[in-house]
């Protein structure tokens, strides 16, 4: 009887401690880099796209750098909690921040302890442009027709968070095209897809990863891609830039360290992550999400993109009146 009790408490305790240990870092003072486990700090609970992508990157990076690397979730506040955590860690390359546009929008709104100048790009894992979609039985064949319809009656436009990337993208497009949106916010891309299918909304700006199936099967029609260049998978869909609207927004996922991290360590991190992402396993992961190899990018390209995305987001929010110019 006693043995049984003991076992009942021991097994859970063992598993618990194993999980806790794998998530927390144990510091060992050494000269070489990496000298202790590297944490990649995410802003969501385990299970979302950011989490899955980070885990897929780390799998190969662990081997490439011969280091222990793990995902450290710091959920809350639209990335603010994660940014605050990273800000309190030493800038020695052992703490990496996984970012999405959410973080950049939060910084632009003045939330959290970091400014854009604190961020130094390491590598980009995914670049997923926003695509304007309608149901395929909709009367609307082109972006122009959608815009015209909005001038008569506001377009019911599904977005995720208010003030998030797809909301701002839609609002900026409407502003430049002088049409009206009636924004219907949902909790996630899956809900937008369901509601666009079910007819509760007219159009939405969805990521390709969220609606590739509905596109290929012919349930949805893509009217425009919010990027400068066309996407290979849907090569016949024009870009917003081609159509004369300079509205470029995409959902990116990439990795950053904070300003002050030694250059050689950033290079090492970049090398490890890039090697991992070029392996077939990661490429399979990208393909499963409807993306291709152009999705990944190194330090320079990614760092430039982060700054451009931030500036665009800031300008967009100023022109929408969400934030004030200072």
Partner 1 sequence: MNLGFEYALPVLTDPYVIGLIVAGTLVGVIIGALPGLSSSMGVALLLPFSLYLEPIPAIALLSALYCAGTFGGSITAILINAPGAPPAVATAFDGYPMAMKGEAGRALGIAAVSSVSGGILSLLVLLFAAPLLARIAYSFGPPEYFALGVFALSMLASISGEAPLKNLIGGCFGLLIATVGIDLTTGVERFTFGVPELYEGIQFIPVLIGLFAVTELLSQAQELGRERIAVALSALKLPTLNDFRRVKNAILRSSGIGVFVGVLPAEGSTMAAMIGYNEAKRWSDQPEEFGKGTIEGVAGPEAANNAATGGAMVPTLALGIPGSATAAVILGGLQVQGLRPGPYLFEEQPGLLYGIFFAMLLANILFLFIGLLGAKVFARISLIPPTFLWPTVFALCFVGAYGLNQSIVDVWIMIIAGLVGFILKKNGFGPAPIIMGIVLGGLIETSLAQSMIIFDQQWSGFFSRPIAMAFFVLAVVSLTGSQFRSLFANLLSRRRKNT
Residues in contact with partner 1 by the rule CB under 8 A: 1, 4-5, 8-9, 11-12, 15-16, 19-20, 23, 45-49, 51-52, 55-56, 58-59, 72-78, 80-81, 84, 111-112, 156, 161-163, 182-187, 190-191, 193-195, 197-201, 212-214, 216-217, 281, 284-285, 287-290
> Minimal distance in Å, beta carbon 226 to partner 1?
21
> Minimal distance in Å, beta carbon 292 to partner 1?
13
Q: In the complex with partner 1, which residue's Cβ is closer, 120 or 203?
A: 203
Q: In the complex with partner 1, which residue's Cβ is closer, 110 or 262?
A: 110
Q: In the complex with partner 1, which residue's Cβ is closer, 25 or 305?
A: 25
> Minimal distance in Å, beta carbon 88 to partner 1?
13
Q: In the complex with partner 1, which residue's Cβ is closer, 175 or 279?
A: 279
> Minimal distance in Å, beta carbon 148 to partner 1?
19
Q: In the complex with partner 1, which residue's Cβ is closer, 11 or 293?
A: 11
Q: In the complex with partner 1, which residue's Cβ is closer, 6 or 315?
A: 6
Q: In the complex with partner 1, which residue's Cβ is closer, 199 or 262?
A: 199
> Minimal distance in Å, beta carbon 208 to partner 1?
12
> Minimal distance in Å, beta carbon 122 to partner 1?
20
Q: In the complex with partner 1, which residue's Cβ is closer, 109 or 176?
A: 109
Give the Cα separation of 1 and 8 in Å (integer).
Answer: 11
> Minimal distance in Å, beta carbon 321 to partner 1?
13
Instruction: Kindly report the three-state secondary structure assignment for every residue of the chain.
Output: CHHHHHHHHHHHHHHHHHHHHHHCCCCCCCCCCCCCCEEEEECCCCCCHHHHHHHHHHHHHHHHHCCCEEEEECCCHHHHHHHHHHHCCCCCCCEEEEECHHHHHHHHCCCCCCCHHHEEEEEEEEEEEEEEEEECCCCCCCHHHHHHHHHHCCEEEEECCCCCHHHHHHHHHHHHHCCCEEEEECCCHHHHHHHHHHCCCCEEEEEHHHHHHHHHHCCEEEEEECCCCCCHHHCCCCECCCCCCCCCCEEEEEEEEECCCCHHHHHHHHHHHHHHHHCHHHHHHHHHCCCCHHHCECHHHHHHHHHHHHHHHHHHHHHCCCCCCC
> Minimal distance in Å, beta carbon 234 to partner 1?
15
Give the Cα separation of 196 and 194 in Å (integer).
Answer: 6
Q: Which of 91, 151, 97, 85 is nearest to 121 (CA)?
A: 97
């Amino acid at each position: 009887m006693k043995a049984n009790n003991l076992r009942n408490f021991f097994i859970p305790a063992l598993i618990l401690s194993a999980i806790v240990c794998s998530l927390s870092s144990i510091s060992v003072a050494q000269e070489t880099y990496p000298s202790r486990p590297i944490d990649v700090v995410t802003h969501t609970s385990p299970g979302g796209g950011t989490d899955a992508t980070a885990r897929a990157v780390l799998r190969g990076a662990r081997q490439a750098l011969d280091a222990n690397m793990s995902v450290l979730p710091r959920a809350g506040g639209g990335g603010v909690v994660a940014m605050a955590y990273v800000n309190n860690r030493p800038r020695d390359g052992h703490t990496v921040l996984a970012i999405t546009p959410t973080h950049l929008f939060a910084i632009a709104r003045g939330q959290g302890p970091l400014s854009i100048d604190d961020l130094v790009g390491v590598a980009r894992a995914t670049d997923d442009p926003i695509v304007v979609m309608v149901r395929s039985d909709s009367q609307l064949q082109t972006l122009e027709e959608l815009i015209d319809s909005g001038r008569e009656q506001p377009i019911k436009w599904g977005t995720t968070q208010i003030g998030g990337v797809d909301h701002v993208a839609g609002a900026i497009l409407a502003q430049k095209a002088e049409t009206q949106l009636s924004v219907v916010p949902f909790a996630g891309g899956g809900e937008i897809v369901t509601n666009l299918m079910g007819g509760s909304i007219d159009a939405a700006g969805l990521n390709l990863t969220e609606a590739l199936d509905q596109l290929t099967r012919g349930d949805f029609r893509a009217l425009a891609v919010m990027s400068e260049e066309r996407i290979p998978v849907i090569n016949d869909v024009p870009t917003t830039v081609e159509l004369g609207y300079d509205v470029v927004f995409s959902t990116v996922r990439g990795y950053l360290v904070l300003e002050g991290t030694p250059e050689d360590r950033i290079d090492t991190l970049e090398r490890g992550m890039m090697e991992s992402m070029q392996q077939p396993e990661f490429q399979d992961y990208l393909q499963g999400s409807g993306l291709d190899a152009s999705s990944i990018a190194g330090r320079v390209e990614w760092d430039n993109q982060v700054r451009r995305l931030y500036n665009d987001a800031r300008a967009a929010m100023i022109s929408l009146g969400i934030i004030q110019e200072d």
